[in-house]
Amino acid sequence: MKKQQDVTNETKNSFIISFCKLYMKKPIEKISIRELTDTAGYNRTTFYNYFSDIYDVLDHIENSSIRYVKQNIIIDIKKENPSKQFINTFLNIYENWESYIKVLLSNQNSAHFKDRLKKELFNSCMDTFNLPKNNIRAEYILDFYLSAIISVISRWIRNQSEMTSLEMANLLEDMLTNNIFTKIDNYIKKEKTLSK
């Protein structure tokens, strides 16, 4: 029974990995089931044992990724020093889900996933911090932070040569714990000092 489950997971993962490779190169509308099954090395019948269509594969990846991100972030924001924990969480998520995160955040159709991710994290954070549903200021602040974090991570994924994952995690933590305008002002002053 265990061996059969392993084979089932391996087959399903083969379709997912193949989908990610194709989705990085072309929009989902241009990916055919035949192309996906050829890339994965399986036939169409096997594909339909796991997924109903190409969009079902994307939904599976999005749902799994959102669930994983939520579980890890919510666990860490409940800890004593959530901003410090953020570095470890970010690195853990990125290292374990790198290929999926890259596909979902750097693809030309990533706006849909970003919106879903932000909505899920928003609701989880509201619940975790016990924020009242009618606290408009808290909602705007949380919306701002989540939008900024997702946007910065998306940009970094598209331009990874600019900094390492640890540098990005430290930058995000710094932005979360310090006033953003103070940080910008400090960088400007530092640049002026260096240029003299």
Q: 1-51 in CATH: which number?
A: 1.10.10.60
Query: Residue 16's pLDDT band (boundaries 50, 70, 90)?
Result: very high
pLDDT surpasses 90 at 149:
no
pLDDT surpasses 90 at 12:
yes
Q: What is the pLDDT of residues 107-147, one digit of tens each?
A: 777 888 999 999 998 888 888 878 778 888 888 888 988 89
pLDDT at 63: 94
pLDDT at 188: 59
pLDDT surpasses 60 at 183:
no
pLDDT at 83: 64
Q: How far is CA 152 from CA 67, 75, 125, 175, in A?
A: 21, 22, 19, 11
Q: How far is CA 173 from CA 89, 117, 139, 161, in A?
A: 11, 19, 20, 20
Q: How far is CA 26 from CA 63, 64, 93, 115, 127, in A?
A: 21, 22, 25, 21, 37
pLDDT at 158: 86
pTM as predicted: 0.79
Q: What is the pLDDT of residues 59-107, one digit of tens each?
A: 999 999 999 888 887 777 666 666 667 677 777 888 888 888 888 888 7
Percent with pLDDT over 70 in the chain: 83
Mean pLDDT score across all residues of the chain: 84
